[in-house]
A and B are shown apart, each in its own frame.
Chain A
């Protein structure tokens, strides 16, 4: 329990309006996008500045209170789930754009600025911020830093770590440091790179410097239908072997297409077994030339239909369909789990075959939507809780992630480990690897107060079972999408 004296100290440091104690208010912070895990925090703090975050963290450190930083709470791995009797430090009030320098193509942001807002502000100068997680309208840059967020365009543009040059960070002892600098490298070990993707366990980023890219001159997008998943896979291989670096290559299987069409009617062919979305961007001449080659490659691999987006509106429609996939599955199934795993791209067909086999054995449908260019799968396990299928579905989903590791891949391509997969980490890493990661964590946080229980397995945690996926309230309200 947090005693009154400590609460007063928080209030003195941040102002009474920045300290939430009302149980009803606290409940709104009990989970993130992975709604199966819930824990009501003892206190929620709403700092406005780096100094206030530092004051809050210092008080937590002094009192030995665990704290969890939180952005928009759209994460899908339970990374922002509060700790029992702990504090949530919400960065929701830190929404200022500190600086925008179009000449040096950079922006300095407080962590609560949303991903989409960055590109929106940069657009009049012909610039944009490349990482584009599907929740980009609501998810924050602070959360993106914590998760090393990606999106659909990673195969060409990389992840958050490739686009953030500096971080102002409040360490778990309350001290304020800067990692990185104004240029993409700086003197000494790369603490910036180490921090990005650490899921809130090494401190709290309170100021983020991002680099901006010029908006590509041309963008070309197509949807190619195939009568088998294998043929679609071969088309992907052909494109990736052609010397072209596509901006995005996405695949949907028939079940995912069915769901998308039911939800948003984006014009995907219901009779296709697999649909590929391929996007190229860059200088106009080159983009057009390469696009022709992609079209030819799809034909060579037996596409049954090619739909080319003629304009931005048509492109947006294609992407709307693709991005709606997760939520759309709700149209064809009462309940579902979202999985995130990676396999080497050349083993996609094998992975899909194994998923199909597991699906048949369990008698549960699995829809597949994924980033085919980098092998990042998002299988959606469909089930009916009323019919008592939840437990089997959850097991199946977990087995799929672990199968990805068996095929030489990873437990997570972009959703993070969080609380959800911490117990699966031993499938991917050895005991020594995990022990060294723990050492790293101790270097930053000897008292283990920053987001404890996330990323690395603990005996207490791994004796428990995760809950099933439920749509995030914002998602249910149609404010966000996931994919």
Chain B
């Protein structure tokens, strides 16, 4: 292991087609490189460093426009050629993958062993890769029970801006040796380097799943119902509110999910809830994921707050949307305080105004907001990140250490760093 990174850097099998060209294409568009091994990745980045090229790492590209716009790209590094399953130790509950592996394909490969990676990020349907999911921080409703992708990463191999290959963590599900550099990559949008490989902890596939649905037009009512479920012994894996109804999902043995659904529907706060039929369940969650993802022309924000803030922030959102001539929908991981807001219709000015004002309201509630996709024209009218947090000097210091020439996704976190 110790020698691996050294050896890989000496042994560079990538042909010239895998080397980046000298700067951007003549038409101003960036060059592209699609390495198929760790060694090729390192070599490509080393060459790019020598040329002082700015870099944009991309997997399936599902989150490529999240955060602030990248201001300069000479070389696009595609991880699609790094899509292999390296190892699957089913009995150890671990899997090693290259970071360009799409989540959906990993699930297919784990399923025969009765396992899965309990991540249900909405962008998975569009082909999102594991590296991209870590860097973009997309997580799905079942985070409530299983945590996000970052919580399931037990080790990683990263390639830094200068081509340095670095390993962090390990291959076992319990390990505290050294700093966990994978956490620096989580939510970094590629600003500190590229994720090349991941070691992940997998779980047994649940025997059975069931979902309770409760019509709930009011945020306060939804929150009360969500809290009742969380107080109950039912241990839901997801509790989501989409502005119209509350969806509560349970995993477990056949008998237990049936019992959970039944007992859930009996909770007084959930009066009127019903268990979805088996053929309704998956479509309900797919429709839910589609709401979170939004559509072309939408502006999508991800906010994290204390769950109790939802009713006030929801009311504020509706008020702002109305004043800005846009429609606003909220999809809330209501038991966790993770909300996705979709602004639709109207003009870019309205999107920008609603975004800026609502973000301020969230900040005043001690929450945070990440701008995901946005309507064309929004970037010219609204800041992507809002006021710089107190951690800004530290983030700049980290950037200086890991990417001193500011070549990895420059501008992604502007104006923070």
Binding site for B on A (CB under 8 A): 101, 103-106, 126, 147-148, 150, 154-155, 158-159, 161-162, 171, 175-179, 181-194, 197-198, 214, 216-217, 237, 240-245, 282-286, 289-290, 342-346, 371, 374-376, 408-417, 421, 425-434, 436-437, 439-444, 446, 455-456
Interface residue B385 (Cβ < 8 Å from any Cβ of A)? yes
Residues of A within 8 A of B49 (CB): none
Binding site for A on B (CB under 8 A): 1-6, 89-94, 114, 137, 139, 143, 147-148, 150-151, 160, 164-168, 170-181, 183-188, 191-192, 203-205, 207, 227, 230-235, 252-253, 255-256, 259-260, 304-309, 336-338, 366-370, 385, 389-391, 393-395, 397-398, 400-402, 413, 416
Residues of A within 8 A of B256 (CB): 283, 285-286, 289
- CB <8 Å contact, B307 and A177: no
Known contacts: A183-B306, A190-B187, A432-B6. The answer to whether A439 contacts B401 by CB under 8 A is: yes
* A-B CB contacts (within 8 Å), total count: 281
Q: Which residue of A lies closest to B139 (CB)?
A: A185
| Cα–Cα distance between A214 and B90 once the two chains are bound (Å) | 30
| Cα–Cα distance between A177 and B337 once the two chains are bound (Å) | 22
- CB <8 Å contact, B235 and A283: yes
- CB <8 Å contact, B5 and A282: no
Known contacts: A105-B230, A194-B180. The answer to whether A443 contacts B94 by CB under 8 A is: no
Given contacts A147-B176, A440-B398, 17 further A-B contacts (CB under 8 A): A178-B390, A183-B306, A184-B336, A189-B183, A189-B188, A214-B233, A243-B114, A285-B256, A344-B171, A346-B91, A374-B172, A374-B174, A428-B177, A429-B178, A432-B165, A433-B178, A436-B181
- CB <8 Å contact, B203 and A189: no
Residues of A within 8 A of B305 (CB): 181-183
Known contacts: A147-B176, A240-B91, A410-B175. The answer to whether A430 contacts B3 by CB under 8 A is: yes
- Most chain A CB within 10 A, of B191, B401, B416, is at B401
| Cα–Cα distance between A286 and B254 once the two chains are bound (Å) | 9
Q: When the two chains form the complex, which single residue of B1, B176, B205, B304 contacts A186, counting CB atoms closer than 8 Å?
A: B304
Residues of B within 8 A of A410 (CB): 170, 172, 174-177
- CB <8 Å contact, B259 and A283: yes
- CB <8 Å contact, A428 and B91: no
| Cα–Cα distance between A411 and B170 once the two chains are bound (Å) | 10
| Cα–Cα distance between A148 and B175 once the two chains are bound (Å) | 9
- CB <8 Å contact, B175 and A194: no
- CB <8 Å contact, A175 and B393: yes
- CB <8 Å contact, B391 and A282: no
- CB <8 Å contact, A181 and B368: yes
Q: When the two chains form the complex, which single residue of B165, B166, B204, B308 contacts A243, counting CB atoms closer than 8 Å?
A: B204
Return A295 CB to nearest CB of chain B, in Å. Answer: 16
Residues of B within 8 A of A179 (CB): 391
Return A217 CB to nearest CB of chain B, in Å. Answer: 4
- The 6 lowest CB-CB distance pairs between A and B, nearest first, are A193-B183, A217-B233, A183-B304, A286-B256, A183-B337, A410-B175
Return A128 CB to nearest CB of chain B, in Å. Answer: 13
Known contacts: A185-B338, A187-B304. The answer to whether A162 contacts B151 by CB under 8 A is: yes
| Cα–Cα distance between A284 and B147 once the two chains are bound (Å) | 23
| Cα–Cα distance between A289 and B227 once the two chains are bound (Å) | 27
Q: Which residue of B lies closest to A185 (CB)?
A: B304
- CB <8 Å contact, B233 and A284: yes
- CB <8 Å contact, A411 and B172: no
| Cα–Cα distance between A159 and B185 once the two chains are bound (Å) | 20
| Cα–Cα distance between A371 and B175 once the two chains are bound (Å) | 13
Residues of A within 8 A of B5 (CB): 430, 432-433
- CB <8 Å contact, A171 and B394: yes
- CB <8 Å contact, B178 and A437: yes
- CB <8 Å contact, A186 and B368: yes
Return B65 CB to nearest CB of chain A, in Å. Answer: 16
Q: Which residue of B lies closest to A283 (CB)?
A: B233
Residues of A within 8 A of B389 (CB): 177-178, 188
Return A314 CB to nearest CB of chain B, in Å. Answer: 22
Residues of B within 8 A of A371 (CB): 174
Return A418 CB to nearest CB of chain B, in Å. Answer: 10
- CB <8 Å contact, A189 and B185: yes
Return B12 CB to nearest CB of chain A, in Å. Answer: 16
Q: When the two chains form the complex, which single residue of B151, B304, B308 contacts A181, counting CB atoms closer than 8 Å?
A: B304
Residues of A within 8 A of B338 (CB): 183-185
- CB <8 Å contact, B172 and A408: yes
Residues of B within 8 A of A241 (CB): 90-91
- CB <8 Å contact, A189 and B186: yes
Known contacts: A175-B393, A182-B337, A286-B255. The answer to whether A126 contacts B151 by CB under 8 A is: no
- CB <8 Å contact, B173 and A155: yes
**A to B CB contacts below 8 Å, 15 in the list:** A155-B173, A185-B137, A185-B187, A187-B385, A188-B368, A189-B398, A190-B150, A197-B180, A217-B233, A245-B203, A283-B252, A289-B255, A345-B93, A409-B171, A432-B5
- Most chain B CB within 10 A, of A176, A182, A290, A342, is at A182
Q: When the two chains form the complex, which single residue of B147, B234, B390 contacts A176, counting CB atoms closer than 8 Å?
A: B390
Residues of A within 8 A of B255 (CB): 285-286, 289
Q: Which residue of A lies closest to B308 (CB)?
A: A104
- CB <8 Å contact, B336 and A429: no
Residues of B within 8 A of A344 (CB): 89, 92, 94, 171-172
| Cα–Cα distance between A443 and B393 once the two chains are bound (Å) | 10
Q: When the two chains form the complex, which single residue of B92, B184, B235 contacts A190, counting CB atoms closer than 8 Å?
A: B184
Return B188 CB to nearest CB of chain A, in Å. Answer: 4
Q: When the two chains form the complex, which single residue of A159, A191, A416, A421 contacts B394, counting CB atoms closer than 8 Å?
A: A191
- CB <8 Å contact, B186 and A417: no
Residues of B within 8 A of A171 (CB): 394
Q: When the two chains form the complex, which single residue of B137, B165, B179, B230 contacts A437, counting CB atoms closer than 8 Å?
A: B179
- Most chain B CB within 10 A, of A150, A189, A345, A430, is at A189
Known contacts: A158-B151, A193-B180. The answer to whether A430 contacts B391 by CB under 8 A is: no
- CB <8 Å contact, B187 and A188: yes
Residues of A within 8 A of B191 (CB): 189
| Cα–Cα distance between A221 and B195 once the two chains are bound (Å) | 41
Known contacts: A147-B176, A148-B176. The answer to whether A408 contacts B304 by CB under 8 A is: no
Q: When the two chains form the complex, which single residue of B151, B166, B176, B232 contacts A412, counting CB atoms closer than 8 Å?
A: B176
Return B406 CB to nearest CB of chain A, in Å. Answer: 15
Q: Which residue of B lies closest to A173 (CB)?
A: B393
Q: Which residue of B lies closest to A244 (CB)?
A: B204
